[in-house]
Structure 1
Amino acid sequence: MAVTVNHTGITVADLDHSEAMFQQLFGFETLSRAARDPEMISRVTGVPGARVEVAYMRNGAATVELLCYSAPGDRADFRPRACDLGSLHMGFNVADLDEAVSEAAKWSLEMMGEIAVVNTGPNRGARIVYLRDPRDGVVLELIEPAP
Structure 2
Amino acid sequence: MPTAHHVGVTVADLDRAVEFYQDVFDFPVLAEFSVSGEAFSTGVDVPNATGQFAHLDADGVRLELVEYDPEGETAHAERVNQPGAKHVGFEVENLDDFYRALPEQVTTLSAPQTTESGTRICFVQDPEGNLVEVLET
- Measured against the shorter chain, the TM-score band is 0.7 to 0.9
CA contact (8 A) 2:17 2:128 kept: no
Partner residue in 2 for 1:132: 125
Aligned-residue CA RMSD in angstroms?
A: 1.8
Deviation at 1:111, TM superposition (A): 1.6
Inter-partner Cα distance in structure 1 for 2:97 and 2:37:
41
SS in 1 for 2:19: helix
* Equivalent of residue 86 in structure 1, options 84, 93, 102: 84
Partner residue in 2 for 1:77: 74
- Tell me whether 1:110 sits opposite 2:107 in the alignment: yes
Q: Which amino acid aligns with 1:41?
A: F
- Please list every run of 5 or more consecutive structure 2 residues that lacks an aligned counterpart in the other structure: none
Partner residue in 2 for 1:53: 52
Inter-partner Cα distance in structure 2 for 1:60 and 1:87:
24
Inter-partner Cα distance in structure 2 for 1:118 and 1:16:
34
TM norm structure 1 = 0.81
Percent of aligned pairs sharing the same letter: 27
Aligned residues: 136
- Tell me whether 1:141 sits opposite 2:133 in the alignment: yes
TM norm structure 2 = 0.86
SS in 2 for 1:48: coil
CA contact (8 A) 1:38 1:52 kept: no
CA contact (8 A) 1:77 1:136 kept: no
- Please list every run of 5 or more consecutive structure 1 residues that lacks an aligned counterpart in the other structure: none
Q: Which amino acid aligns with 2:74?
A: D
